[in-house]
Structure 1
């Protein structure tokens, strides 16, 4: 199947070179100071048929020179190479010296770097940033720019400098790709029934969630909409995904109003991977192809879930200076729209709860609806006339629907609150007809409530199945303190895994699949233990 090809937008990261030590750094300083007298000026050149304007300049770092460095200044320089190509194609490289035991030029305090802990004791960090370039283009432009500057300054520089392999510490910190969507399709993405709204409604919880939907409609609906998906939600949307990300729908700063023939009249749909969306961890440079694959899968599937055609078509996609609106060389897999599946899971959880509803459960739900969705356990006890121990038993039975965070009881998601409020608000609400009315509301059969047993187990114990990056191993991760001893007040790992097997079987899965997985659980808040599910059960 032909699919639209995405285009690169932002990309930032660090390329680390150790093969030639600091020699490339010192020769660049000599070129800048001795041949260009501190600034190269704008140099026009052609590279692979594209006109580029490049320059070389310096800035002061916070690093003190070593005793052996032949430097008159109290601080080392950093050298910046900037290049401007066709349209908005830009590349900036900041060349920084790196060596073991670096010190601040004023305080003398040590500046920590990876060079303190690796065999190589000196090298160069090149911080790159730019737009509308593929990651490998940054890698290839750097040595080309250096050689162009060397020719202009009439100072030969070793062609191997910056051209060899990069160190394994090299990384990417920001990476975004996009398509430009005809404005007429925007409501499919940012409208009331658009995919962004569906994700918010089904995934966002009232408290504690890091899922965010940021909306800016100042100049036009869809001016700047951003869905921030933390890693767990990103993994749930598309199987095998590993990274938190942003899904974006946005117009340029100054919205075009009257000319649909102007590409900037139409919005971009982009997906952004960013270090700060992933526990402040950068992405390995060597994974840049995998990063692109995950971004492309997200863009194409979000469009597909929005019922936007993903085939290249200039009535759907609008070419611009950097997005060609052509077919991708390597189409990605299409996944089923997860939002109906997520909704079905949550509907089934509500139904399963109402199947076994007790009078005390009913009273607590009523009070929560009446109290605006939140209450202290003691308040629920007072208002229902039940003992506090009864309230806690109710909370235990309604786990997954309700949560108790820091002595505040609330619904586990906005959807649960809205749907249960609609049921409870009915005058005829009661134990006898609750399950029937829930099943009618969701068009579900009561007998199918057990199909959610696995999800309920995961919610109860904070459990999740995690696949290794290469898909060769599955781990059942349980984010709860467990024990192997019957005498412990914490749940026994053997009992929890038995419950996992029962829940897995209840949803029609082969128990052998789970028994062969690795289990990971906490033995203390910051301590983890590992073992195979099947041996641990014994």
Structure 2
């Protein structure tokens, strides 16, 4: 079995519903608080650890049901209150291993004091809801700790034995803490967090959240301070097909990280994956199977991001940093390292664009794509037609022909991803530049002819304009400054261009030795894993060479 680093639980929130014993847990909490003069405290041991519990009340915003509930249960409490369990580990020196459980009654037809209806599941009858919110506790331990806490303050633990099927998890995160000197590849501009947001988010449709903040709240520079990407169910399955839960993946530091010395855990960042309940229409319950799925998906997401960034997944060494709740130990769980499909997605999206460019796009297809790239809002085929001057039916037929580049839903259309948008944008820009160069080449040839230069010389000048070449002739040889070339086959391409230039130079009756003795230079757009970087400005290199060495 592969030895993997252990992840630690962080935040957790859930709604636990109980109706097996009706309103009995609520009445019991009311009775115990009154008996204690406003609160009850207790101590218990769980997992070899000492815990303290406190039960207290808060005023309620619920409407009093009267003498009986709608179901007919006597309600002899004059002042309707709600209750809270505060539960924390006594052995925790940091004080963050704790949770709070907010207990409130539930019955069909319940309303708030301002008349608003409180949602209660159909068929639920009567019972209680406990809203749990905690941190640094294994997810499957909350219910056991709740029962122990209830018992310690005089409430039957059996009142919380069987959560109703409508119980659900609202938030959960697992994390590792990385040494600050090794976490850079995770939050880099071409790292897995940025790539997931860059490749998997639709251009306009759906929820988008990509944050790349390298500055603390005090304005101090801290690379990787808060970098996150949030993906809904559809997008997470594009990256990790075996997963179903929407998630946020984040690399983040504590707010005061820079105030701690290097040896302190909070000087180093966390990499976490958290469940995002609002990003899908499904529900995650609290059964053993649900909790196992939650743990598995969060852990596999963290491990997969680490693997994608090239970071060692084995515990020990200087990669991971221990804190109060995370130790550099081997995981006892069997987890699968899921290879993120980012490269495959990037290649697929790139090949789709290249296919259309190679096949040639009609004017209406070009103009439709250009409209989608430049417009920032919701765009319909009719909007495109109005913007471009084409008939709406022509636009719709064009969109049908490029349906693997675009997504259409409810009468609107958008590009499939940011990456496709950038590729199309670059293609449109290059096409415009090529057209401009062609016009420039023609005008320069005409200008040369008007100055009395012969046809062959005009052809050489047009060749230089066509290929965006800045040409200078010196006594020692020519100087050729080409434009930007793609990394793939750039050497073959420059050889072809230079040989064509030599042929035209000779046809113009110029000294070939002067041309051969010349120098050239051009820029190459770098690629990552064979694919073009998004930020080409900072990802280019200059190539220099001698003409005669290249064309021989």
TM over 0.5: yes
1:23–1:406 Cα change, 3 Å: closer
Deviation at 1:365, TM superposition (A): 6.9
Post-superposition Cα deviations, 1:11-53, rounded to whole Å, max 9, x if no partner, equal 111222223222232222211102x11123x655544432333
CA distance in 1, matches of 2:369, 2:25: 72
The answer as to 2:251 corresponding to 1:246 is no
Deviation at 1:368, TM superposition (A): 4.8
**Structure 2 match to 1:161:** 159
1:179–1:230 Cα change, 3 Å: same
- Within 5 A, what are the aligned runs for 1:108-119? 111-114=118-121, 116-118=122-124
- SS of residue matched to 1:183: coil
Post-superposition Cα deviations, 1:337-366, rounded to whole Å, max 9, x if no partner, equal 311101110111112212321443575379
CA distance in 1, matches of 2:382, 2:119: 51
CA distance in 2, matches of 1:103, 1:414: 45
**Structure 2 match to 1:57:** 56
- SS of residue matched to 1:71: coil
1:357–1:314 Cα change, 3 Å: same
The counterpart of 1:101, out of the listed 109, 114, 117, is 109
Kept after mapping to 2: 8 A contact 1:8/1:134: yes
Deviation at 1:242, TM superposition (A): 1.0
CA distance in 1, matches of 2:369, 2:241: 37
Post-superposition Cα deviations, 1:414-463, rounded to whole Å, max 9, x if no partner, equal 32333234344255479xxxxxxxx97778xxxxxxxxxxxxxxxxxxxx
1:367–1:97 Cα change, 3 Å: closer
1:31–1:318 Cα change, 3 Å: same
Deviation at 1:384, TM superposition (A): 7.6
**Structure 2 match to 1:178:** 175
The answer as to 2:134 corresponding to 1:130 is yes
**Structure 1 match to 2:14:** 13
Kept after mapping to 2: 8 A contact 1:65/1:76: no
Larger Rg: 2
**Structure 1 match to 2:311:** 308
- SS of residue matched to 1:184: coil
The answer as to 2:232 corresponding to 1:230 is yes
1:428–1:262 Cα change, 3 Å: same
- SS of residue matched to 2:348: helix
Kept after mapping to 2: 8 A contact 1:12/1:175: yes
Post-superposition Cα deviations, 1:297-343, rounded to whole Å, max 9, x if no partner, equal 11111111111111112411111100112111123212333111011
Deviation at 1:142, TM superposition (A): 1.1
Deviation at 1:293, TM superposition (A): 0.8
The answer as to 2:141 corresponding to 1:143 is no
Kept after mapping to 1: 8 A contact 2:380/2:413: yes
CA distance in 2, matches of 1:49, 1:414: 51
1:334–1:442 Cα change, 3 Å: farther
The counterpart of 2:339, out of the listed 327, 332, 336, is 336
Deviation at 1:188, TM superposition (A): 0.7
Deviation at 1:376, TM superposition (A): 8.3
Deviation at 1:103, TM superposition (A): 4.3
CA distance in 1, matches of 2:359, 2:311: 42
Contiguous gaps of at least 5 residues in structure 1: 151-156, 431-438, 444-538
CA distance in 2, matches of 1:359, 1:170: 55
Kept after mapping to 2: 8 A contact 1:10/1:175: yes
Kept after mapping to 2: 8 A contact 1:251/1:267: yes
The answer as to 2:320 corresponding to 1:322 is no
CA distance in 2, matches of 1:364, 1:110: 51
Deviation at 1:389, TM superposition (A): 4.5
1:47–1:419 Cα change, 3 Å: closer
**Structure 2 match to 1:30:** 31
CA distance in 2, matches of 1:25, 1:289: 30
- SS of residue matched to 1:30: helix
**Structure 2 match to 1:192:** 189
- Within 5 A, what are the aligned runs for 1:283-432? 283-286=284-287, 287-360=290-363, 364=367, 368=371, 389-402=393-406, 411-424=415-428, 425=430, 427-428=433-434
Kept after mapping to 2: 8 A contact 1:363/1:384: no
CA distance in 2, matches of 1:247, 1:64: 43
Kept after mapping to 1: 8 A contact 2:373/2:421: no
TM-score normalised per structure 1: 0.70
The counterpart of 1:71, out of the listed 59, 68, 76, is 76
CA distance in 1, matches of 2:370, 2:137: 57
